[in-house]
């Protein structure tokens, strides 16, 4: 393989730039030409492709977002869109593609693989909703951003003796809520994967107040419920003064954590090694300190296991 392209697609995630740097420099070290595709699959269709050298990815390892920009493309999921994308790759002499992003990006990668394109996926999404990797790139930073916000809210919650509902991102996944909730000392964590009983949440709040608790923090995953509605309902049912904070896109930005940069560097380089070894249609993932490669079909068909027991643990520890 003499020429590799890479793109970032879907929601950006902190650490994507570190992964881009790793792909480019690992491929250059192997003697390949490297092309960056701007705006994800939409840019592949439109031919927004430029050659990258080692300096093009200098000074980006610590930056959030993605220098290649990103997009969500519906056109790519049409036959005509995919044919045009493949034609663009041919025109530029591109023999392999690295696609970074979440499940939508992997679906796109699988479509290309089925059409005979050599393609490897790199899991990068704050949602951490993919199986066959300990973690997706961006998750650790998003959790730490949420934790910083929770710490700050805790100060004012204690000062005024209030209950706070904090809504976090994650789309259909409760991973950010679960980890930020447990590590942030939340009293209740509501996630889409586990049914919750709001009466029980309220009863726990009131029991806490009886024990002398001065404030309460409840973490709601956006996929479970609207934080605003939960906050209003809690105030109505308990009479406790309640405030709501929706963290939103703050969780997507910022300098990537050390862990995200490490995982991104390992997986970006691994994606190139997989292509050089002649494999295609796989996602690279991290397992401990090693990387693994799993067929994308299998990744998409496997729900990510969730440590549900952590909800109960958070409740016990928040006494």
Q: List the catalytic residues.
A: 127
- Tell me the pairing of strands 290-295 and 282-287: antiparallel
DSSP string, 247-308: -GGGGG-SPPPHHHHHHHHHHHHHHHHHHHTT--SEEEEEETTEEEEEEHHHHHHSPPP--T
Q: Tokens at residue 152, please?
A: 């700050």
Site for ligand F6P in 116-135 (CB under 6 A): 125-127
Q: Per DSSP, which regions of the chain are E strands?
A: 3-8, 33-37, 49-52, 96-101, 118-123, 163-168, 188-190, 216-221, 242-246, 282-287, 290-295
Nearer Cβ to ligand F6P, position 75 or 273? 75
Both tokens assigned to 13: 């995630």
192 touching ligand F6P, by CB under 6 A: no
Compute the half-sphere exposure of residue 77: CA atoms within 13 Å on the CB side of its CA.
Answer: 7
Q: How far apart, in whole angstroms, are the C-alpha atoms of residue 41 and residue 46?
A: 9
Residues of span 144-173 touching ligand F6P by CB under 6 A: 169-171
CB of 58 to ligand F6P, least distance (A): 27
Residue where the block lists tokens 């570190």? 18
Of 31-90, binders to ligand F6P (CB under 6 A) are none
Closest contact distance (angstroms) between CB of 293 and ligand F6P is 23
Please compute, for residue 239, the number of CA atoms within 13 A of its CA located in the half-sphere on the CB side: 2
The least CB distance from residue 236 to ligand F6P, in Å, is 27
7 burial (CB, 10 Å; 0-12 / 13-18 / 19+) is buried
State the burial class of residue 142 (Cβ atoms within 10 Å of its Cβ: 0-12, 13-18, 19+): buried
# residues near ligand F6P by CB under 6 A: 10
Which residue's CB is nearer to ligand F6P, number 216 or number 251? 251
> What's the closest the beta carbon of residue 86 comes to ligand F6P, in angstroms?
26
Q: What's the CA gap between 265 and 214, in Å, rounded?
A: 43
Q: Tell me how far, at minimum, the Cβ of 119 lies from ligand F6P, in Å.
A: 21
Write the binding mask 284 to 303 for ligand F6P: x where contact by CB under 6 A, - elsewhere: --------------------
> CA distances (Å), 11 to each of 91, 136, 198, 239, 277, in order?
28, 13, 31, 38, 29
Closest to ligand F6P by CB, 11 vs 81, is 11
User: Smallest distance from the beta carbon of 47 to ligand F6P, in angstroms?
Assistant: 24
Q: Show the tokens assigned to 171.
A: 């789309």
Contact call for residue 11 and ligand F6P (CB under 6 A): yes
User: Torsions phi, psi of 188, nearest 5?
Assistant: -140, 145
Interface positions, 200-239, toward ligand F6P (CB under 6 A): 222
Interacting residues with ligand F6P between 98 and 117 (CB under 6 A):
102
- By C-beta, is 177 or 202 nearer to ligand F6P? 177
* Least gap, CB of 182 to ligand F6P (angstroms): 19
Query: Given the complex with ligand F6P, which of 85 and 221 has the nearer CB atom?
Result: 221
Specify the residue, 9 or 82, whose C-beta has the smaller distance to ligand F6P.
Answer: 9
Residues 6+ apart with CB under 8 A from 113: 119, 280, 281, 296
Which positions from 243 to 282 touch ligand F6P by CB under 6 A, shown as an x/- string?
---------x------------------------------
Closer residue to ligand F6P in complex, CB, 81/170: 170
Residue 193, interface with ligand F6P (CB under 6 A)? no
Positions that interact with ligand F6P (CB under 6 A): 11, 102, 125-127, 169-171, 222, 252
């Amino acid at each position: 393989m003499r020429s590799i392209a890479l793109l970032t697609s879907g929601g950006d995630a902190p650490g994507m730039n570190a992964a881009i740097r790793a792909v480019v420099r690992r491929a250059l070290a192997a003697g390949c030409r490297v092309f960056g595709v701007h705006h994800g699959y939409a840019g592949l269709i439109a031919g927004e492709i430029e050659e990258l050298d080692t300096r093009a990815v200098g000074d980006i390892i610590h930056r959030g977002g993605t220098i290649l920009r990103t997009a969500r493309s519906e056109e790519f999921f049409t036959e005509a869109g995919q044919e045009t994308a493949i034609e663009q790759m041919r025109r530029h002499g591109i023999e392999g593609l690295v696609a970074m992003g979440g499940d939508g990006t992997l679906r796109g990668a699988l479509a290309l693989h089925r059409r005979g394109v050599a393609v490897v996926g790199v899991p990068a999404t704050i949602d951490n909703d993919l199986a066959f990797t300990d973690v997706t790139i961006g998750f650790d930073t998003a959790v730490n951003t949420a934790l910083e916000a929770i710490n700050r809210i805790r100060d004012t919650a204690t000062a005024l003796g209030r209950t706070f509902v904090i809504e976090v991102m994650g789309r259909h996944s409760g991973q950010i809520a679960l980890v930020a909730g447990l590590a942030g000392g939340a009293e209740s964590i509501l996630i889409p994967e586990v049914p919750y009983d709001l009466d029980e949440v309220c009863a726990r709040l009131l029991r806490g107040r009886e024990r002398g608790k001065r404030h309460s923090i409840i973490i709601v995953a956006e996929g479970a419920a609207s934080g605003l509605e939960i906050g209003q309902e809690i105030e109505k049912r308990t009479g406790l003064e309640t405030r709501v904070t929706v963290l939103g896109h703050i969780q997507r930005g910022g300098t990537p954590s050390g862990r995200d940069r490490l995982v991104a560097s390992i997986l970006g380089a691994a994606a190139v090694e997989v292509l050089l070894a002649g494999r295609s249609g796989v996602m690279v993932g991290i397992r401990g300190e090693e990387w693994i490669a799993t067929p994308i079909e299998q990744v998409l068909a496997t729900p990510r296991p969730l440590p549900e027991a952590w909800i109960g643990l958070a409740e016990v520890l928040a006494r």
